[in-house]
């Protein structure tokens, strides 16, 4: 701890004796006593106590004299006797860092035998840490006292501060991790666990990191989960499952080249049906259908123990063949491999699409009727059932509109598959061909077309299609929300946008996306207080939505609630979404702004401190 002794002149001024010299040489006595103290290099603290008592009688208002007297008593093993002069020193110099630190540490020592002193010890140590925030001993003692008082939050913050001061001090991080988990403080837990695994972790720390990563996946904090799995893989590079988990996060966040890279690392160690399946998924999302087909064919030719992988591989293989225009190969495969009952409805859809793609109308009608009868809840068959009954009768199939209706149904299904792999150009092409064949019978098709235009940057076309959807079904909540939000983002017709979104929110009050749109509309209209309340509700409904957190942060910044705004943006960045880089930049700027404002407050407090009256913590203890 730094030596922050008051000067001799300050002692005299404090005692009010600057104009009346003492009867003894106080300065010489202080130097003599200091030399006798253990911390002054001496060996006789008892003698130092006697001298300090003489000086205290001469200058009773000197905080330094009482501080040194307390130190000497402590060195003399009279810890209890050291308490009164320490308290007196604090009463005389409540803003002096050394004085407050000494009392805090002394109370910590005494509280070991007298638990009743714990609250005072914690209070003094908290004050001391604000005055000497870089002193690790103060944070450690505050952490221990807080634990004894069952103050989990206080202990957590103390151990976190100590860990930041001494990153290699694993005990601080371990205790912080324990308290963070008990308090369900995600950010603190993440910080502590990552710190424990930053260098050379032991098995316990790796287990904590693995638990954290799995919880992050469960919570949807995908960016953080990827970070955790990458750190695990760094320490355990021969564990294929870790590289596979990294790949899964990257797949889920549409970073398919990176996912392939991780899967290659996993397969370099061990090839499994799961890695083969996920590699095929990545390849398909990159438009590399032939490679995906070859992998899936090999996979399906062998034994797959996991039903979910077997079912998924079969569906993915069917989609690959459809997207490659290999309807005949698909039908041949499905004839030999009908699949489990759990996926029979989906495979029946693929069968119908393959037959229609081959213009095998008679067989297609039979398959459609079978699907309508056995899988009435599958959307494809619901749409087929909504067609005029004669369209499904082969004897009437010579009519042009009958064939057009089936082909339209098939093209809309293909558009949905293209959208699944984010091939918006192909999706839009299929939808435009479908619309050329007849009127749109389902507003969801218009919503898909609008999304495709939007993803391709054709905002005017997207808006046009949404207007068409509005005309077709003006009370559809999703049409109202999507149209309102697009108007909002384009900064036009704000009143109409708000009215549309309000109607959508009224119809679907528990839809987090819609409530988010409503809060954002209120913000755009300058209704800041309402917007905050609405967006907090949206955050409750969709706690893992980065867009909600981003919008709430904007509202909080507008209100000057900068620290909470930063917290919301940090939570948004626990996910991965397209404008992540822009938000990272905004958050960095916000942190700089917060740091500047805090620095200004500290400077202001330091200027005001000499004239400021002591607060409750500065009062002399009885």
Residue by residue, DSSP assigns 499-548 as HHHHHHHHH-TT-HHHHHHHHHHHHHTT-HHHHHHHHHHHHHH-TT-HHH
Torsion of the alpha carbons at 406, 409, 410 and 412, rounded to the nearest 10? 160
Q: Could you tell me the sign of the dihedral formed by the alpha carbons of 379, 381, 382, 384, in that order? A: positive
| Mean of all residue pLDDT scores within the chain | 90
pLDDT in tens, 485-510: 999 988 878 999 999 999 999 999 99
CA distance 290 to 325: 11
pLDDT for 622: 27
B/e letters for 18-40, b = 16+ CB within 10 Å, e = fewer, are eeeeeeeebeebbebbbebbeeb
Average pLDDT over residues 437-451: 92
> What gap in Å lies between CA 177 and CA 206, rounded to an integer?
13
pTM for the full model? 0.78
User: Which pLDDT does position 579 carry in this prediction?
Assistant: 75
pLDDT reported for residue 62: 94
For the beta carbon of residue 343, count every other beta carbon within 10 angstroms.
18
The number of beta carbons lying within 10 Å of the beta carbon of residue 121 is 28
- Residue 127 φ/ψ, nearest 5 degrees: -65, -40
Lowest mean pLDDT among 144-148, 161-165, 268-272, 567-571: 567-571
Q: Categorize the per-residue pLDDT at 574 as very low, low, confident or very high, splitting at 50, 70 and 90.
A: confident
Q: Give the mean model confidence (pLDDT) for residues 370-374.
A: 96
What is the C-alpha separation between 59 and 54, in angstroms, rounded?
9
Residue with the bigger pLDDT between 52 and 441: it is 52
pLDDT at residue 578 is higher than 80 = no
DSSP summary character for residue 35: H
Burial 278-309 (b: 16+ CB within 10 A, else e): bbbbbbbbeeebebbbebbbebbeeebeeeeb
Task: Work out the average pLDDT over 89-95.
Answer: 95
pLDDT for res 602: 63
User: Of 350, 330, 283, 340, which is closest to residue 306 (Cα–Cα)?
Assistant: 340
- In this prediction, residue 472 has a pLDDT band, given cuts at 50, 70 and 90, of very high
The answer to whether residue 221 scores a pLDDT higher than 90 is no
Q: Using 50, 70 and 90 to split pLDDT, how confident is the model at 600?
A: confident
The predicted structure's pLDDT at residue 614: 39
Which pLDDT tens digit goes with each residue over 287-332?
Answer: 999 999 999 999 999 989 999 999 999 999 999 999 999 999 999 9
Report whether 248 contacts 235 (CB < 8 A): no
Burial of 399 (0-12, 13-18, 19+ CB in 10 A): exposed
Tokens of 499: 């009215």
Integer Cα distance of 158 and 171 in angstroms: 12
pLDDT computed for residue 604 by the predictor: 62
Residue given tokens 């793609």 in the structure block: 357
pLDDT of 559 strictly over 70: yes
Residue 7 is predicted with a pLDDT of 43
Say whether pLDDT at 44 is over 70.
yes
């Amino acid at each position: 701890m730094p030596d922050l002794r008051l000067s001799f002149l300050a002692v005299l001024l404090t005692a009010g004796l600057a104009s009346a010299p003492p009867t003894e040489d106080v300065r010489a006595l202080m130097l003599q006593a200091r030399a006798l103290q253990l911390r002054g290099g001496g060996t006789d603290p008892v003698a130092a106590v006697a001298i300090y008592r003489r000086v205290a009688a001469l200058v009773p208002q000197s905080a330094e004299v009482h501080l040194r007297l307390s130190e000497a008593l402590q060195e003399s093993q009279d810890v209890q006797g050291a308490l009164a002069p320490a308290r007196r020193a604090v009463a005389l110099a409540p803003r002096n860092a050394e004085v407050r630190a000494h009392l805090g540490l002394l109370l910590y020592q005494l509280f070991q035998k007298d638990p009743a002193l714990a609250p005072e010890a914690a209070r003094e140590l908290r004050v001391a840490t604000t005055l000497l925030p870089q002193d690790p001993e103060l944070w450690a003692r505050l952490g221990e006292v807080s634990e004894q008082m069952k103050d989990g939050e206080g202990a957590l913050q103390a151990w976190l501060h100590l860990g930041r001061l001494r990153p290699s001090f694993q005990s601080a991080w371990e205790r912080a991790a324990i308290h963070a988990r008990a308090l369900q403080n995600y950010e603190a837990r993440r910080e502590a666990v990552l710190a424990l695994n930053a260098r050379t972790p032991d098995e316990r720390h790796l287990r904590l990191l693995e638990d954290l990563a799995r919880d992050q996946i469960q919570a949807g904090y995908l960016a953080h989960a990827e970070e955790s799995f990458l750190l695990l893989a760094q320490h355990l590079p021969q564990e294929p499952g870790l590289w596979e988990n990294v790949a899964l996060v990257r797949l889920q966040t549409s970073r398919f080249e990176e996912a392939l890279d991780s899967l290659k690392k996993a397969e370099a160690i061990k090839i499994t049906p799961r890695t083969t399946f996920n590699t095929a998924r990545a390849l398909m999302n990159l438009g590399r259908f032939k490679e995906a087909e070859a992998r899936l064919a090999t996979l399906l030719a062998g034994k797959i123990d996991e039903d979910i992988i077997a079912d998924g591989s079969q569906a993915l293989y069917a989609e690959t063949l459809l997207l490659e225009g290999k309807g005949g190969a698909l039908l041949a495969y499905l004839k030999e491999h009908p699949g489990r009952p759990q996926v029979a409805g989906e495979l029946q859809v693929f069968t119908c699409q393959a037959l229609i793609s081959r213009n095998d109308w008679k067989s297609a009608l039979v398959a459609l009727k079978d699907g309508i009868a056995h899988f009435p809840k599958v959307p494809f068959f619901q749409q087929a059932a909504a067609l005029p009954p004669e369209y499904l009768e082969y004897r009437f199939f010579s009519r042009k509109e009958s064939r057009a209706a089936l082909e339209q149904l098939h093209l809309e299904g293909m558009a949905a598959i293209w959208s699944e792999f984010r091939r918006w150009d192909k999706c839009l092409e299929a939808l435009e061909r479908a619309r050329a064949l007849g009127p749109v019978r389902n507003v969801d098709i218009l919503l898909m077309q609008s999304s495709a235009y939007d993803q391709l940057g054709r905002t005017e076309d997207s808006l046009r299609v949404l207007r068409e959807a509005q005309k077709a079904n003006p009370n559809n909540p999703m049409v109202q929300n999507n149209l309102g939000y697009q108007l909002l983002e384009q900064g036009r017709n704000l009143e109409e946008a708000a009215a549309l979104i309000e109607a959508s929110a009224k119809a679907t009050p528990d839809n987090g996306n819609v409530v988010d749109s409503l809060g954002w509309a209120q913000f755009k209209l300058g209704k800041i207080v309402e917007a905050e309340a609405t967006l907090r509700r949206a955050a409750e409904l969709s706690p893992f939505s980065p867009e909600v957190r981003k919008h709430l942060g904007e509202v909080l910044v507008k209100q000057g609630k900068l620290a909470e705004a930063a917290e919301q943006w940090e939570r948004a960045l626990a996910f991965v979404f397209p404008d992540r880089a822009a938000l990272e930049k905004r958050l960095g700027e916000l942190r700089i702004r917060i740091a500047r404002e805090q620095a200004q407050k500290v400077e202001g407090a330091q200027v005001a401190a000499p004239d400021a009256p002591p607060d409750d913590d500065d009062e002399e203890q009885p």
